[in-house]
Every structure is written in C-alpha cells, then in structure tokens.
Amino acid sequence: MSYWPPHLPRSLPPATITLPECLEASAALHPEHTAVAFFGRDITYRRLQQEVEAFAGWLRNRAGVNAGDRVILYMQNSPQWVIAYYGVLRAGGIVVPVNPMNRGAELQRYIDDSGAEVAVCSQELFEFADTRFREIVVAIILITVRVDFWRGARCAVDFCLPASRCAKACDTCTRLCKSSSGESGSAAWIRADCTTCRSRIFPSRCAALRSVALLRA
C-alpha cells in the first residue's frame, strides 16, 4: 500500500481464545449484565451461556454434530439465532448462515456447497427446509406484536403456517386458521403453545430451540 497510518499496526496477532470462550468469560465476569435485548425482554450473559451450553450438548449428543461439521442457520435476527450461532461453535461445528429470503433452489445450493446435514430454522421457514436435512431444529420465536402488524395475527404466541398444513390442526386451531386467512389463504396461524398441533405438524425428528421464558409476552 502506498500509505498506511503510522500509528496503526500492519499486522494483528492471531486470537488466543475462541468466541465461545469469550462468551464464557463475559458470563463469568458479568453474569447479570444484559447480553441480548429483544423487544423489551433482556437475556443475561448467565442465561445466554446456559442456553448455548445446553444447545451445544444437544448438537453433539443428539444431532451427531462433530468438529468441523457445517450447520446451517436459516432464520431472522433473534435471540435464538445468537444461541444457535454460539452453540454451533461451542459444539465444534462451523456456522453457515443463510439469508431467510432464500427459498428452495437457493437454499439447496448452500446445502450442496457446504455439505450441511443439520439446520436450525425458524418456524415460518420450516416448509422450505423440511426433508432437506438429517436433523432440523425448529426455533419458535415469540415476540410481542401489534394485532395489525401481521394480517390475522392473534397474539404473540401464535405462529404462521402454510394453509395446506391447517388440515392437521386441532379443531380450535383450525377455526383460527380459517378466520385468519380464509379458506383459500396462502398462510394461516395456529397457537404456538398448542402441543397437539405441534406434534402433528412438525415431524418427531424436529427439536425445538426455545427461550420462551424470557420472550413470552
């Protein structure tokens, strides 16, 4: 380079600790400080570290993620994204972030290029990720929204599904689907806390990554 500020170093030494170790240090030094603030709800460093450790353990022991394995993160910005990111690193995996605007063919290109067999996706993107991975973690992201923010949204504990999946919903959620989107709607809403519908709609191989205690309205 023809010019370089004399007060700046021309090289940087490699890091001596990893990002998960940085989080662990922050949790030890400032356990009650806020690590993530999301729609008026705070997650402390202590809680974040606990969530990360638990998720990393699930990835290693249940999903079979080994050192160097790629894991796709396919969701919007949220606390679950942060937990999943650090959890993958803590498990020794490599994060492959995918823009949630990508759909079928675009998502498949990331899968083929990275060789990822495990993914973390948010519930509204599940239909695009389903059948493409060996293991899928469905992140249930609960936020407080105005009733008119999403058309047909009933409350913070509802989440969106393709209308085609409403046939699997229980009677109460089926009525909610019809009233929110109409018989020919392209999407509908069920209650996120309805365990009956969740077991019918999401395959048993899907886990649920949740931090609902701090995010529930």
Report d(CA 136, CA 7) in Å as an integer. 48
pLDDT of residue 96: 97
What's residue 87's pLDDT? 93
- pTM of the predicted model over 0.85: no
pLDDT tens sequence for the chain (217 residues): 678 998 999 898 988 999 999 999 999 999 999 999 988 888 999 999 998 998 898 889 888 899 999 999 999 888 889 999 999 999 999 999 999 999 889 999 999 999 999 998 888 888 888 888 888 877 766 543 333 232 332 333 344 444 455 555 566 555 555 554 444 444 444 454 455 555 555 554 455 554 433 333 3
Place of tokens 């990822």: 116
List of residues 6+ apart from 11 with CB closer than 8 A: none
pLDDT at residue 150, as a whole number: 29
Q: Report pLDDT for 138.
A: 76
> How much is the pLDDT for 165?
53
Structural domains of the chain in order of their starting residue, each with its CATH number: 19-142+200-215 (3.40.50.980), 148-191 (no CATH)
What confidence score (pLDDT) does residue 122 get? 84
Give which of 71, 32, 29 is closest to 48, Cα–Cα.
32
Cα-based torsion angle of the residue sequence 71, 77, 80, 82 in order, rounded to the nearest 10 degrees: 70
Q: At what angle do helices 79-90 and 45-61 cross, to 10 degrees?
A: 50
